[in-house]
Amino acid sequence: MQTNPLELVIPGTVYELSIFLFEIPTGVIADVYSRRLSVIIGYVLMGLGFIVAGLYPALIVATVGLGIIGIGSTFVSGALSAWLVDEIGQEQASQAFVRASQINVLARLAGIIVSVLIASIHLQLAVIAAGLPLLFAAGLMMLVMPETGFQPVPTSERNSWRDLFITFGKGVSFVRASRVLLAIFVVVLCFAGFGETFGKFWQAHILENFTIPGLANGDDIIWFGIISGVSIPLSLLTTEHMRKRVDLTHVGTVVRMLRGLFMGLVGCMMLFALSDVFWLALIGLWAAQICMTMIGPLMQIWINHHLASETRATVLSIIGQVNAFGEIVIGGPMVGFIAIRTSVRVTLVAVTLILLPLASVFRLVDRVQHQSVTQAHNP
């Protein structure tokens, strides 16, 4: 079934819209009731969403499935990081975020291999199979996941709707009082729009602008599996070097690393988008994927460093809503129209350019954080 660039973004836009609508309510629930329960519900919904999306090869079915996955992800997004930081502390969580990104990379490798094998037999079966590990993980968490670092509002003191609004109000006040959190919003917004566009169009760019050796009779599935798989060992090596050599507990170091990685990402993407040589484009693609892999845990460390425990899940959900908004506005139908009117190559260049102003944002944040440290030492 052939799809044009606009159709490519419709299911993803519904997915992000469901996140935008449900992100804050589910984050507040996690802060008031239980972060563990919120994560488990999220994994169940995401697993069911994949199964629904794989039932029938139609755009509407995929869209409904992605909507369910989006709702499920809102139960997880703020609650999981908040649960981890409260259980093991900020310093250990910094290392855990990096280690989790490495495990995620290995899981992606396993997923690529299994999905390629299953998709070569039946594409829809591969989508359904993606939901089964999520349901298994939800069942496992019911049995082994503790929750000792979080203290919910006592049942006798709960006034359900009032508690939800009070917690949400505290989270909003916390955000408004922090210039760093407002800067984080800008970074998340731009990175979300870029990431959504990149994820949708990097394969289309290769198909549209290059002749891949041996690409025929469905070999594209295998080729894209190989292309995605090459970046995995490189990502593991770079994140392990970062985990061992970089002081991830020092927020200034984290901010400076993020600034360098974002500017490196711009250069890599320009190589990928503008090169007419297939292997040079692949080098740019792999380097960009490595940058994005490293940016993920560093963003988590940076964000969590500036959050208070009692509103952590709520503020993370507000940030998640900003993320969804960026993916809808920047990476949604707008880029589909741009790709139709111009080309996928032009679209990738345009969305990469929105990352350039982030260098100034990170310099401002570094200055603000340095001033805060100086004032703390010289009251």
Give residue for tokens 């009731």.
33
Supply 65's token pair. Answer: 């499935």
Supply 219's token pair. Answer: 């070999």
Contact residues for 1 (Cβ-Cβ < 8 A; gap 6+): 57
Separation of CA 333 from chain center: 19
For the question of whether the overall pTM of this predicted structure is more than 0.85, the answer is no
Q: What is the CATH number of the domain that holds 364?
A: 1.20.1250.20
333-341 helix and 5-32 helix, angle to the nearest 10 degrees = 160
Residue 250's CB: how many other CB atoms inside 10 A? 12
What pLDDT, on the 0 to 100 scale, is given for residue 320?
81
Supply 90's token pair. Answer: 């900020």
Give residue for tokens 């009251």.
379
* Domain limits for position 36: 5-377
Separation of CA 220 from chain center: 25
Number of separate domains in the chain: 1
* C-alpha span between 237 and 25 (Å, rounded): 38
Contact residues for 161 (Cβ-Cβ < 8 A; gap 6+): none
For the CA atoms of the chain, what is the radius of gyration? 21
The sign of the CA dihedral 256, 261, 266, 270 is positive
Supply 6's token pair. Answer: 């606009």
pLDDT of the chain, 379 residues: tens digit per residue:
455 555 666 777 788 788 878 876 777 777 777 889 889 999 999 999 999 998 888 888 888 999 999 999 888 887 888 888 888 887 888 888 888 888 887 887 787 778 778 877 877 888 898 899 999 999 999 999 998 887 765 555 544 545 555 555 666 676 666 788 888 999 999 999 899 889 888 888 988 888 776 644 456 667 777 777 777 788 888 888 888 888 888 888 899 999 999 999 999 999 999 999 988 999 999 999 999 989 999 998 998 888 777 777 777 878 887 887 888 778 766 777 787 888 889 999 999 999 999 999 998 888 876 666 555 445 5
Contact residues for 81 (Cβ-Cβ < 8 A; gap 6+): 93, 97, 300, 303, 304, 312, 316
